[in-house]
Amino acid sequence: MMKKITTYQGKKVLVLGLGKSGINAAELLAKLGAKVTVNDKNEPSDLNQVAALEAQNIKVVTGSHPLALLTDIDLMVKNPGIPYTNVLVAEAQKRGLKIITEPELAYEILEGQMIAITGTNGKTTTTTMITLMLNQASAKQHAYKAGNIGISASKQAQTLGQDDILVTELSSFQLLGISALHPHIAVLTNIYEAHTDYHGSRENYVKAKMRITMNQTAADYFVVNWDNPEWRELSKQSQAQVVPFSRNNLSQKGAYLKDGILYFRDKAIMAATDIKVPGTHNVENALAALAVAKLMGVPTAAIVEVLKTFSGVKHRTQYVRTINDRKFYNDSKATNMESTEKALAGFKQPVVLLAGGLDRGFTFEKLVPFFKDLRGLVVFGQTAELIAQAGEAAGVKHIIKTKNAVTAVPLAYQLSQPGDIVLLSPACASWDQWKTFEERGDKFIEAVTKLAQEVEEK
């Protein structure tokens, strides 16, 4: 089902990182005839995984990063999360070795088309909406989501035929490691302040994001959020046909919101109030997705059906359950302030907010206007004190500090009143306490479930 390429036949490849994408890349490269070594600085947690790789003639080296691994290699495939300051990566760069990330391999073997989505916020929701719309419309073509969203692109690409579409969510980390990757449609949802600890500056972060369109031609499409002058300016860098989407009706050349109705060019699609997922940010995601769907020839009825029924992505303003007339939402994927702003703006009811996490050197004054109407604030993690200060500046009456997102749940419930929203939207990465935002969200859901049982037993 995949292109038979000979690029890697007999090549010596070092795969850095024993995570999911690293394992998938190593296995694919071995299938393509490469001599593969996988290296991870940590000792493996799963020895069966190591044995399975070794059974495919893949060498596994763990526990450190020996520089000797760079001797005589043709290529490095790097886990996106490993920074370029890593000892092996820095040395590989110094030696002029080619360094790629795993989505590049996916593109090289892909038989079907690629649609790629990037942005600071909204990537996962937009990727999911696009995939659902394409699948709602056609039995012949099938769309598969992959990338920064669960299944790695290189694994998914191996299963696709010529009629299929790979809808790929790409992070700035992944985009730094592409060279030939060329989506037919690229989407930029937005660009805010994020990952400057990795990229070194906002300028570098923006450049990384814009790599999504660097190989596009006039036969392709670049779908761009038109509601910020910076993003409009950035679109000029693309050789593709630019298709705007605008919640503020700043352009009618693509998808836009006008008088409460979503349009594509001059055709009305549906009322914004009929979108099932809450919040103005989801109107933007819906506009981006419907622009892509229309460019791919999806009928309006299929688009409407998806937007009326799609109830959201796990960990992204995900409804968990109602306890005593309080609705609990899991927005653990809100790893920056803009995400939390958008989540709060999506609710009309009073909110008890759970927030905090990794300290990246930011202060949280930007959130003060959004905190003014909070019923209460429960803070945790490295940024607990900083977020509490923003709450105090906003005049929040009830602020509680606690250990983490789990211990915050019963405290938030105590602060809440019937009809309130209890929202985990941390505004920070999870890495001070959890391995991933998914783990943080799952633990929060478990804590809500436990609380529900306790409340019911009383």
Amino acid present at 295: L
Q: How far is CA 244 from the centre of its chain?
A: 21
Q: Which CATH number fits domain 318-457: 3.40.1620.10, 3.40.50.620, 3.90.190.20, 3.40.50.261?
A: 3.90.190.20
Mean pLDDT for the chain? Answer: 93
Question: Which structure tokens are listed for 441?
Answer: 């969200």
pTM of the entire predicted model? 0.77
Q: What is the DSSP letter of 438?
A: H
Which residues fall in the annotated binding site for ATP?
A: 119-125
For residue 32, give Cα distances in angstroms to 28, 158, 201, 341: 6, 11, 37, 46
Q: How confident is the model at residue 78 (pLDDT cuts 50, 70, 90)?
A: very high
Share above pLDDT 70 across residues of the chain, in percent, rounded to a whole number? 99
SS3 74: coil
Q: Which of 18-32, 137-151, 210-224, 344-358 is the least confident region? A: 137-151
Counting other chains too, the contacts that 41-47 makes at CB distance below 8 Å and 24 or more residues apart are: 41/65, 42/18, 44/18
In angstroms, the first-to-last Cα distance of the chain is 57
Q: What is the pLDDT of residue 140?
A: 64
| Class (C level, CATH) for 103-309 | alpha beta
pLDDT tens digits, 148-207: 777 899 999 999 999 999 999 999 999 999 999 999 999 999 998 767 777 788 899 999
Q: What's the pLDDT at 269? A: 98
Cite the beta strand spans of 359-407 per DSSP E. Answer: 376-379, 399-401
- Residue of 125, 209, 198 lying closest to 167 (CA atoms): 125
Which pLDDT score, from 0 to 100, does residue 139 have? 59
Sheet strands side by side (includes 421-424): 318-323, 326-330, 421-424, 351-355, 376-379, 399-401
Binding-site residues, please?
A: 119-125
Q: pLDDT of 125-153, one tens digit each?
A: 999 999 999 999 865 679 999 987 778 99
Q: Which residue has the tokens 């622009």?
A: 291
Residues β-bridged to residue 423: 329, 353
Spatial strand order in the sheet of 267-271: 143-147, 165-169, 113-118, 185-188, 221-225, 241-246, 255-258, 261-264, 267-271
Superfamily of the domain at 12-100:
NAD(P)-binding Rossmann-like Domain (3.40.50.720)
Alpha helices (H) along 375-425 = 384-393, 408-415
Which sequence spans correspond to the domains of the chain?
A: 12-100, 103-309, 318-457
Residues 271-290 have pLDDT tens digits of 999 998 888 889 999 999 99
Tokens of 365: 């004054």
Phi, psi for 146 (deg, rounded to 5): -160, 180
pLDDT of res. 256: 98
Task: Give the pLDDT score at 49.
Answer: 86
CA distance 214 to 95: 25
Paired residues of 62 in beta bridges: 40
Does the pLDDT value for residue 312 go beyond 90?
no
Going by C-alpha positions, the residue among 48, 84, 296, 284 that lies closest to residue 185 is 296
Angle ∠(325,328,329) on CA atoms, nearest 5: 145
